[in-house]
Structure 1
Amino acid sequence: MKIKKIDHFVITTKNLEKSIAFYKDLLGMKHVENKGRHAFIFGNQKINIHLKKGEFQPAALHVEYGSQDYCLIVKEEIELVKEEIEKKEYPIIEDIVKRHGSQGEIKSLYIRDPDGNLVELSNYCN
Protein backbone atom coordinates (compact mmCIF):
# COMPACT_ATOMS: atom_id res chain seq x y z
CA MET A 1 0.00 0.00 0.00
CA LYS A 2 1.13 3.57 -0.74
CA ILE A 3 -0.65 6.56 0.76
CA LYS A 4 -1.37 9.18 -1.91
CA LYS A 5 -2.45 12.32 0.02
CA ILE A 6 -4.44 13.68 2.94
CA ASP A 7 -8.12 14.24 2.12
CA HIS A 8 -9.35 15.70 5.41
CA PHE A 9 -8.85 15.74 9.13
CA VAL A 10 -11.19 16.48 12.02
CA ILE A 11 -11.08 19.15 14.70
CA THR A 12 -13.52 19.27 17.59
CA THR A 13 -14.49 22.79 18.61
CA LYS A 14 -16.11 24.30 21.68
CA ASN A 15 -17.35 27.29 19.70
CA LEU A 16 -18.42 27.04 16.06
CA GLU A 17 -18.73 30.80 15.56
CA LYS A 18 -15.13 31.40 16.70
CA SER A 19 -13.93 28.55 14.47
CA ILE A 20 -15.73 30.07 11.49
CA ALA A 21 -14.14 33.46 12.22
CA PHE A 22 -10.70 31.84 12.38
CA TYR A 23 -10.77 29.41 9.46
CA LYS A 24 -13.00 31.42 7.11
CA ASP A 25 -12.29 35.03 7.97
CA LEU A 26 -8.62 34.85 9.06
CA LEU A 27 -7.34 31.94 6.94
CA GLY A 28 -9.68 32.41 3.97
CA MET A 29 -11.10 28.88 3.81
CA LYS A 30 -14.58 28.19 2.47
CA HIS A 31 -17.09 27.22 5.19
CA VAL A 32 -19.68 24.64 4.15
CA GLU A 33 -22.55 23.18 6.14
CA ASN A 34 -24.49 20.10 5.07
CA LYS A 35 -27.21 18.59 7.28
CA GLY A 36 -25.66 19.99 10.44
CA ARG A 37 -22.10 18.97 9.57
CA HIS A 38 -19.52 21.71 9.16
CA ALA A 39 -16.26 21.79 7.20
CA PHE A 40 -13.67 24.23 5.89
CA ILE A 41 -12.45 23.62 2.36
CA PHE A 42 -9.10 24.77 0.97
CA GLY A 43 -7.60 23.50 -2.30
CA ASN A 44 -8.46 19.80 -2.60
CA GLN A 45 -8.59 19.24 1.15
CA LYS A 46 -10.89 19.99 4.03
CA ILE A 47 -11.07 20.21 7.79
CA ASN A 48 -14.21 18.68 9.27
CA ILE A 49 -15.46 20.41 12.40
CA HIS A 50 -17.21 18.42 15.10
CA LEU A 51 -19.19 20.30 17.71
CA LYS A 52 -18.77 17.81 20.55
CA LYS A 53 -16.29 15.10 21.47
CA GLY A 54 -16.94 11.88 19.58
CA GLU A 55 -19.88 13.43 17.74
CA PHE A 56 -19.60 11.04 14.79
CA GLN A 57 -18.39 7.45 15.17
CA PRO A 58 -15.93 6.02 14.71
CA ALA A 59 -13.83 8.78 16.26
CA ALA A 60 -10.39 9.14 17.79
CA LEU A 61 -10.07 7.26 21.06
CA HIS A 62 -9.25 10.32 23.19
CA VAL A 63 -10.86 13.37 21.55
CA GLU A 64 -9.68 16.62 23.17
CA TYR A 65 -10.14 20.27 22.33
CA GLY A 66 -6.94 21.96 21.19
CA SER A 67 -4.85 18.81 20.84
CA GLN A 68 -4.04 19.19 17.12
CA ASP A 69 -0.76 20.46 15.69
CA TYR A 70 -0.67 20.75 11.91
CA CYS A 71 0.99 22.63 9.06
CA LEU A 72 -0.79 24.39 6.19
CA ILE A 73 1.13 25.49 3.11
CA VAL A 74 0.19 29.02 2.03
CA LYS A 75 0.28 30.38 -1.52
CA GLU A 76 1.77 33.78 -0.65
CA GLU A 77 5.22 34.53 0.74
CA ILE A 78 5.18 33.92 4.48
CA GLU A 79 6.20 37.53 5.15
CA LEU A 80 3.00 38.73 3.44
CA VAL A 81 0.97 36.25 5.47
CA LYS A 82 2.57 37.62 8.64
CA GLU A 83 1.64 41.18 7.62
CA GLU A 84 -1.97 40.14 6.96
CA ILE A 85 -2.28 38.40 10.33
CA GLU A 86 -0.79 41.41 12.11
CA LYS A 87 -3.19 43.78 10.29
CA LYS A 88 -6.06 41.64 11.58
CA GLU A 89 -4.48 41.92 15.06
CA TYR A 90 -4.35 38.16 15.52
CA PRO A 91 -1.60 36.93 17.88
CA ILE A 92 1.40 35.14 16.38
CA ILE A 93 2.79 32.47 18.73
CA GLU A 94 6.18 32.13 17.02
CA ASP A 95 7.64 34.40 14.36
CA ILE A 96 9.01 33.19 11.03
CA VAL A 97 11.49 30.32 11.39
CA LYS A 98 12.95 27.70 9.05
CA ARG A 99 11.69 24.14 9.40
CA HIS A 100 11.61 20.98 7.32
CA GLY A 101 8.37 20.06 5.52
CA SER A 102 7.54 16.92 3.59
CA GLN A 103 9.04 18.36 0.38
CA GLY A 104 12.04 20.24 1.79
CA GLU A 105 12.88 23.40 3.70
CA ILE A 106 9.99 25.67 4.67
CA LYS A 107 9.56 29.05 6.37
CA SER A 108 6.87 28.90 9.04
CA LEU A 109 5.03 31.01 11.55
CA TYR A 110 2.72 29.72 14.25
CA ILE A 111 -0.72 30.76 15.47
CA ARG A 112 -3.43 29.03 17.53
CA ASP A 113 -7.05 28.54 16.54
CA PRO A 114 -9.80 29.41 19.07
CA ASP A 115 -9.62 25.93 20.63
CA GLY A 116 -5.85 26.09 21.11
CA ASN A 117 -4.81 23.92 18.16
CA LEU A 118 -1.35 24.89 16.91
CA VAL A 119 -1.51 25.99 13.28
CA GLU A 120 1.78 26.25 11.40
CA LEU A 121 1.50 28.44 8.28
CA SER A 122 4.35 27.79 5.85
CA ASN A 123 5.74 28.04 2.36
CA TYR A 124 8.67 26.31 0.71
CA CYS A 125 12.03 28.03 0.37
CA ASN A 126 12.48 27.06 -3.31
Structure 2
Amino acid sequence: MTPVTRLDHVVIAVSDWRVATDFYRDVVGAEVIGVGGGRVAFRIGPTQLSVHGPGMDLAGDVARLPVRPGNSDVCLVWDGPVEAAVAHLRRHGVEVETGPVPRFGAGGPGTSVYFRDPDGSLLEFISYEA
Protein backbone atom coordinates (compact mmCIF):
# COMPACT_ATOMS: atom_id res chain seq x y z
CA MET A 1 0.00 0.00 0.00
CA THR A 2 1.27 3.47 -0.90
CA PRO A 3 1.48 5.80 2.13
CA VAL A 4 -0.42 8.65 0.42
CA THR A 5 -2.87 10.08 2.95
CA ARG A 6 -4.65 13.02 1.30
CA LEU A 7 -4.70 15.55 -1.48
CA ASP A 8 -2.33 18.44 -0.67
CA HIS A 9 -2.98 20.94 -3.47
CA VAL A 10 -4.23 21.38 -7.01
CA VAL A 11 -3.57 24.22 -9.44
CA ILE A 12 -6.15 26.63 -10.79
CA ALA A 13 -5.46 29.53 -13.13
CA VAL A 14 -6.96 33.01 -13.02
CA SER A 15 -6.91 36.01 -15.35
CA ASP A 16 -7.09 38.68 -12.61
CA TRP A 17 -5.42 38.24 -9.20
CA ARG A 18 -7.66 40.73 -7.33
CA VAL A 19 -10.99 39.53 -8.77
CA ALA A 20 -10.09 35.90 -8.10
CA THR A 21 -8.84 36.64 -4.59
CA ASP A 22 -12.05 38.48 -3.68
CA PHE A 23 -14.20 35.67 -5.10
CA TYR A 24 -12.36 32.76 -3.49
CA ARG A 25 -12.16 34.58 -0.14
CA ASP A 26 -15.73 35.91 -0.02
CA VAL A 27 -17.73 33.28 -1.93
CA VAL A 28 -15.72 30.09 -1.39
CA GLY A 29 -14.49 31.01 2.08
CA ALA A 30 -10.83 30.33 1.33
CA GLU A 31 -8.01 31.65 3.44
CA VAL A 32 -5.78 33.79 1.23
CA ILE A 33 -2.09 32.92 1.65
CA GLY A 34 0.62 35.19 0.23
CA VAL A 35 3.30 33.10 -1.46
CA GLY A 36 5.62 35.90 -2.62
CA GLY A 37 5.99 37.98 -5.74
CA GLY A 38 2.42 39.25 -5.49
CA ARG A 39 1.10 35.71 -5.82
CA VAL A 40 -1.44 34.03 -3.57
CA ALA A 41 -2.81 30.58 -2.86
CA PHE A 42 -6.24 29.72 -1.46
CA ARG A 43 -6.50 27.35 1.52
CA ILE A 44 -9.66 25.45 2.22
CA GLY A 45 -9.24 23.29 5.29
CA PRO A 46 -6.12 21.15 4.81
CA THR A 47 -6.19 21.53 1.01
CA GLN A 48 -4.68 24.31 -1.05
CA LEU A 49 -5.58 25.74 -4.43
CA SER A 50 -2.27 26.92 -5.85
CA VAL A 51 -2.92 29.76 -8.26
CA HIS A 52 -1.30 30.52 -11.61
CA GLY A 53 -2.04 33.95 -12.99
CA PRO A 54 -0.89 36.99 -14.93
CA GLY A 55 2.80 37.77 -14.78
CA MET A 56 3.90 34.28 -13.77
CA ASP A 57 6.73 32.48 -15.50
CA LEU A 58 5.30 29.01 -16.14
CA ALA A 59 8.63 27.44 -17.10
CA GLY A 60 9.43 24.48 -14.92
CA ASP A 61 7.24 22.03 -13.05
CA VAL A 62 3.87 22.47 -14.72
CA ALA A 63 1.55 20.11 -16.58
CA ARG A 64 2.30 19.39 -20.22
CA LEU A 65 -0.79 21.49 -21.03
CA PRO A 66 -0.77 24.13 -18.28
CA VAL A 67 -4.00 24.99 -16.52
CA ARG A 68 -5.66 28.03 -18.06
CA PRO A 69 -8.26 30.40 -16.61
CA GLY A 70 -11.69 28.83 -16.93
CA ASN A 71 -10.70 25.19 -17.44
CA SER A 72 -10.76 23.84 -13.88
CA ASP A 73 -13.49 21.74 -12.27
CA VAL A 74 -13.31 21.63 -8.47
CA CYS A 75 -15.69 20.21 -5.86
CA LEU A 76 -15.67 21.61 -2.32
CA VAL A 77 -17.48 20.23 0.73
CA TRP A 78 -20.19 22.52 2.14
CA ASP A 79 -20.53 21.90 5.88
CA GLY A 80 -24.28 22.32 6.29
CA PRO A 81 -27.48 21.86 4.34
CA VAL A 82 -27.21 22.44 0.59
CA GLU A 83 -30.04 25.01 0.81
CA ALA A 84 -27.68 27.18 2.89
CA ALA A 85 -25.08 26.92 0.11
CA VAL A 86 -27.65 28.08 -2.45
CA ALA A 87 -28.64 31.01 -0.22
CA HIS A 88 -24.98 31.92 0.31
CA LEU A 89 -24.32 31.97 -3.44
CA ARG A 90 -27.41 34.12 -4.06
CA ARG A 91 -26.30 36.62 -1.36
CA HIS A 92 -23.06 37.02 -3.31
CA GLY A 93 -24.82 37.37 -6.66
CA VAL A 94 -23.48 34.04 -7.93
CA GLU A 95 -25.78 32.10 -10.25
CA VAL A 96 -26.41 28.43 -9.51
CA GLU A 97 -26.06 26.61 -12.83
CA THR A 98 -27.22 23.19 -11.69
CA GLY A 99 -28.75 21.90 -8.51
CA PRO A 100 -29.38 20.98 -5.94
CA VAL A 101 -28.83 17.52 -7.43
CA PRO A 102 -27.77 14.17 -5.94
CA ARG A 103 -24.09 13.36 -6.49
CA PHE A 104 -21.57 10.82 -5.28
CA GLY A 105 -18.38 12.34 -3.86
CA ALA A 106 -15.43 11.26 -1.74
CA GLY A 107 -17.72 11.16 1.31
CA GLY A 108 -20.34 9.03 -0.45
CA PRO A 109 -23.81 10.19 -1.50
CA GLY A 110 -24.42 13.93 -1.22
CA THR A 111 -26.28 16.84 -2.75
CA SER A 112 -24.49 19.37 -4.95
CA VAL A 113 -24.89 22.81 -6.48
CA TYR A 114 -22.75 23.96 -9.39
CA PHE A 115 -21.58 27.51 -10.15
CA ARG A 116 -18.66 29.26 -11.85
CA ASP A 117 -15.76 31.40 -10.72
CA PRO A 118 -15.14 34.76 -12.50
CA ASP A 119 -13.06 33.02 -15.20
CA GLY A 120 -15.67 30.32 -15.88
CA SER A 121 -14.11 27.39 -14.01
CA LEU A 122 -16.81 25.05 -12.75
CA LEU A 123 -17.11 24.87 -8.97
CA GLU A 124 -19.32 22.58 -6.92
CA PHE A 125 -20.42 22.70 -3.32
CA ILE A 126 -21.38 19.21 -2.10
CA SER A 127 -23.24 18.69 1.16
CA TYR A 128 -23.27 15.34 2.90
CA GLU A 129 -26.06 16.36 5.30
CA ALA A 130 -29.21 14.29 4.86
Give the whole-Å Cα distance in 2 for the aligned partners of 1:59 and 1:12: 12
Give the whole-Å Cα distance in 2 for the aligned partners of 1:55 and 1:75: 35
Structure 1 stretches lacking a partner, 5+ long = none
Within 5 Å, which residues of 2 pair with 1:6-21? 6-21=7-22
- Residue pair 2:80, 2:129 contacting (<8 A) in 1 also: no
**CA separation of 1:3 and 1:12: change in aligned 2, threshold 3 A:** same
- The TM-score with structure 1 as length reference comes to 0.90
How many residues align structurally?
126
Question: Residue 26 of structure 1 corresponds to which residue in structure 2?
Answer: 27
Question: Residue 4 of structure 1 corresponds to which residue in structure 2?
Answer: 5
Question: Residue 60 of structure 1 corresponds to which residue in structure 2?
Answer: 63
After TM superposition, the runs of 4+ consecutive aligned structure 1 residues lying more than 4 A away are none
Q: Cα RMSD over matched residues?
A: 1.7
- Residue pair 2:32, 2:41 contacting (<8 A) in 1 also: yes
2:86 alignment partner, one of 71, 82, 87? 82
Structure 2 stretches lacking a partner, 5+ long = none
Deviation at 1:3, TM superposition (A): 2.9
- The TM-score with structure 2 as length reference comes to 0.87
Question: Between the two proteins, what is the percent identity of the paired residues?
Answer: 27
Question: Residue 49 of structure 1 corresponds to which residue in structure 2?
Answer: 51
Residue 24 of structure 1 aligns to a residue in which SS? helix
